[in-house]
Amino acid sequence: MCFKTGNAVILRGGKDAINTNMVIIKAIKEGLKACNMPKDCVYLLEDTSRETTVELMKLNQYVDVLIPRGGARINQNSCRK
């Protein structure tokens, strides 16, 4: 849906799935290229630290939608005022 509306997407997964996520992103980029869409409209944030995730949650002027998944601490930090 984000691509149809002209938006980009940043994906960030956990450290246990980083290799799988890299393969998934590669496949998505290949699909985008095959559809003549810019492959750079999807990005994998390879830093899996919680600190980076919390910083991403603070980028309200750039990030329109954030879907947290994980522990209570991360989900609690995602509530925006």
pLDDT in tens, 47-79: 988 888 889 889 989 888 888 776 666 556 555
Residues 1 and 39 in one domain: yes
- pLDDT score, position 34: 95
Residues 30 and 61 placed together within one structural domain of the fold? no
Same domain, 62 and 25: no
Structure tokens at 81: 């005022």
CA distance 49 to 59: 16
Instruction: Assess whether 41 and 55 both reside in one domain.
Output: no
The mean pLDDT of 2-21, rounded to a whole number, is 88
**What is residue 29's predicted lDDT score, i.e. its pLDDT?**
94
Predicted model pTM: 0.71
Q: Residue 61 carries which DSSP code?
A: T
Q: Looking at the predicted structure, is the pLDDT value of residue 81 above 50?
A: no
Residues 12 and 24 in one domain: yes
Residue 53 shares a structural domain with residue 68: yes
Q: Give me the domain span that covers residue 75.
A: 49-81
